[in-house]
Structure 1
Amino acid sequence: SHEGRGIEVTDERLAEIFLEQQARGAATLDLVTPTHYVPEILHALHMAREQGFQLPVVYNSGAYETEETIEALRGEVDIFLPDLKYADEASAREYSLAPDYFAVATKAIARMYEEVGPLQFTPDGQLKRGVIIRHLVLPGHRHESMRVLDWIHETFGDTVQISLMNQYTPMYRAAEHKGMNRRLTTFEYQSVVDHALNLGITHCYVQQGRTADTKFVPHFDGSGVEQG
């Protein structure tokens, strides 16, 4: 177990990890919440590419990013996978302590799009370049979700992929926030999906059935990081 102790990964070891994922047959290299390690990641990517690394790179983040950070990734990332969590300032402050979230996130996502452009697919239908915007519909906030979709469609038309998620699961301190200690209803989620359809959005992943469960929360135990 790696619990209770830190794991030091050098840039050289990180490059090895990237190459190991390619050797295992991974379709992409998915960098999850990587903002605070961008300089090290870029260094490791350059080293890995010198050794034959060729996987498409996915930058997976909450979009609360500076435009300078996204600019540093120009030419290094093939697919940006940002969240667009909130449209309202009050929601961002209460649930994520993220002032100006919508203003910051939309600027960052616009820069991501400027760097990689509209969706590009391989002949077999796999996304090889573009932006996938995730949005988790929250209980009691379906109209806010609709405003998120409005901004996406007004800004990008149907040239980005959207992932509309319904798996909000009350955990930790959810009960401290009014209305958040429950799961999303089918009506709430379907009304947001219908809004996407009415806007003319076709590149949209939707979820069916019950996905709100703690079993979908990953375990961050350091597996595969250390050598040997």
Structure 2
Amino acid sequence: MYRLPRLPSAVKISCGSVLRRALIGSHRKLHLAPPWLLDDYIPRYHLISSVDASRKRSEAYAHLSKCNLCPRLCGVNRFEKTGVCLIGADVKVDTIAPHFGEEPCFQGHNGSGSVFFSGCNLRCVFCQNHTIAHQRHGFDLTPEKLAEWYMMLQDVGKVHNINLVTPEHVVPQVALSILHARDLGLRLPIIYNTSSFDSLESLKLLDGLVDIYLPDFKVWRDDTSRRLLKADNYAATAMESIKAMHAQVGDLCFTDDGIAKKGVLVRHLVMPGKADEGREIVRWIAENVSKDMMVNIMEQYFPRAHVGKARRGKSAKSEEVVEVVEPGGLRASPQTMAKVRYEDINRPVDLDEVALVRQAAEEAGLWRFVEAAKHGGFNI
């Protein structure tokens, strides 16, 4: 009987490695260079010392007593009253559940463990989550109860991460909840899903607790931010915040299952007539933060919240027949057409505008883009 020649052990190991890589490569096409591919990952909150954890707890309570953790600088005692964000010492949460509407690298097969906080420190007139962010819907939770929900998302929901949505105004409570959840046995990465209207003091408190920063860079011009976000110096604040986030956790990294574990991913929602601002934003990211930054250029803008509503005050009296789209995309009949609020953004975004921003990003040197899954599910 013919026998195969014996191979040296080193050769067998090498062949086995090649075979494993070939099999993995046929199933998963991550196309990741080693700097962004992790063998394993330990959440950052497990790496801080007990002394640092105690210090962060003390700082969190101090910030709540004289709130300075967003650029509004309300300075209120959150144990007694609320500021612009409408939230006091406890958090108000609208929804806690596995979420399948995030980027594929966050939602995976089991979903992202999303916590949608009520309240916000911005007042975006086009807010896609208007009833959550601008109204106090939901139920109240202490940081300790919030930590218990993290554990349920991990142990029952089997989610891939804890995704804190719009948390800028509840950073002290978030810090306390993460530290408590650590003691309860949480072992999932923490995502800080923010509008980028954060203060450096806030991000300093989060350093060592957050694994993934998911900032949204909304607009570039100051007059746009004052008119549409009701905030001064938004772009300057966002630039400062995103730089600080990147300094903490770097570019987005994954394990070989395609799930992101650490780093920054910047979102930009392209808005009608604002492609020029989007181009400035992606150029700034490439030139001032990192050309290896992962970016999601989003096309799902649609009139929401106050956009398309009837004008108030004196201007409401002067009816002018114009072609408008009401909230939800319903066209008004010619008899009821009248001037509406924020007419310039009262339409879905044009895909040509999205393409212009994408082109500017590529020309600036960005190359890591979030691509939609072709099959409508988890893209690995």
Shared fold per TM-score greater than 0.5: yes
Task: Report the equivalent of 2:148.
Answer: 16
Task: Describe how 1:79-158 pairs up with structure 2 within 5 A.
Answer: 79-158=212-291
Deviation of 1:5 (Å): 7.0
* Cα distance change, pair 127–158 in 1 and its aligned pair in 2 (3 A): farther
Task: Report the equivalent of 1:30.
Answer: 163
Deviation of 1:124 (Å): 2.5
3-state SS in 1 of match to 2:140: coil
Task: Report the equivalent of 1:172.
Answer: 305
Task: Report the equivalent of 2:347.
Answer: 182
Instruction: Determine the C-alpha separation between the residues in 2 that align with 1:116 and 1:27.
Output: 18
Instruction: Determine the C-alpha separation between the residues in 2 that align with 1:190 and 1:156.
Output: 22
Instruction: Determine the C-alpha separation between the residues in 1 that align with 2:288 and 2:260.
Output: 20
Query: Could you report, residue by residue, the CA deviation over 1:193-224 in whole angstroms, capped at 9, with x for unpaired residues?
Result: 12222223111125699xxxxxxxxxxxxxxx
**Contact (CA 8 Å) 1:116, 1:130: kept in 2 or not?**
yes
* Cα distance change, pair 208–193 in 1 and its aligned pair in 2 (3 A): farther
Query: Could you report, residue by residue, the CA deviation over 1:25-82 in whole angstroms, capped at 9, with x for unpaired residues?
Result: 1101001111222222211211111121010000011001111001100000000001
1:66 aligns with 2:66: no
Identify unmatched segments of 5+ residues in structure 2: 1-93, 95-130, 309-340, 375-380
Task: Report the equivalent of 2:356.
Answer: 191
Q: Which has the larger radius of gyration?
A: 2
Instruction: Determine the C-alpha separation between the residues in 1 that align with 2:243 and 2:185.
Output: 31
* Cα distance change, pair 54–181 in 1 and its aligned pair in 2 (3 A): same
* Cα distance change, pair 29–6 in 1 and its aligned pair in 2 (3 A): closer
Deviation of 1:141 (Å): 1.0
* Cα distance change, pair 34–189 in 1 and its aligned pair in 2 (3 A): same
Task: Give the counterpart letter for 2:151 in structure 1.
Answer: L
Deviation of 1:170 (Å): 1.1
**Contact (CA 8 Å) 2:168, 2:197: kept in 1 or not?**
no
Deviation of 1:138 (Å): 0.7
Instruction: Determine the C-alpha separation between the residues in 2 that align with 1:6 and 1:126.
Output: 30
Deviation of 1:6 (Å): 5.5
Query: Could you report, residue by residue, the CA deviation over 1:129-171 in whole angstroms, capped at 9, with x for unpaired residues?
Result: 1111110111111111100001000012322211111111112
3-state SS in 2 of match to 1:60: strand
Deviation of 1:111 (Å): 0.7
1:202 aligns with 2:367: yes
Task: Give the counterpart letter for 1:153 in structure 2.
Answer: A
3-state SS in 2 of match to 1:8: strand
Instruction: Determine the C-alpha separation between the residues in 1 that align with 2:342 and 2:237.
Output: 24
Task: Report the equivalent of 1:76.
Answer: 209
**Contact (CA 8 Å) 1:165, 1:207: kept in 2 or not?**
no
**Contact (CA 8 Å) 2:293, 2:366: kept in 1 or not?**
no
* More deviation, 74-83/125-134: 125-134
Instruction: Determine the C-alpha separation between the residues in 2 that align with 1:26 and 1:94.
Output: 38
Task: Describe how 1:49-64 pairs up with structure 2 within 5 A.
Answer: 49-64=182-197
Deviation of 1:11 (Å): 2.2
Deviation of 1:13 (Å): 1.2
**Contact (CA 8 Å) 1:79, 1:131: kept in 2 or not?**
yes
* More deviation, 53-62/159-168: 159-168
3-state SS in 1 of match to 2:295: strand
* Cα distance change, pair 166–206 in 1 and its aligned pair in 2 (3 A): farther
Instruction: Determine the C-alpha separation between the residues in 1 that align with 2:202 and 2:247.
Output: 14
Identity level (%): 33
Task: Give the counterpart letter for 2:149 in structure 1.
Answer: I
Instruction: Determine the C-alpha separation between the residues in 1 that align with 2:305 and 2:261.
Output: 36
Task: Report the equivalent of 1:212.
Answer: none
Task: Report the equivalent of 1:218.
Answer: none
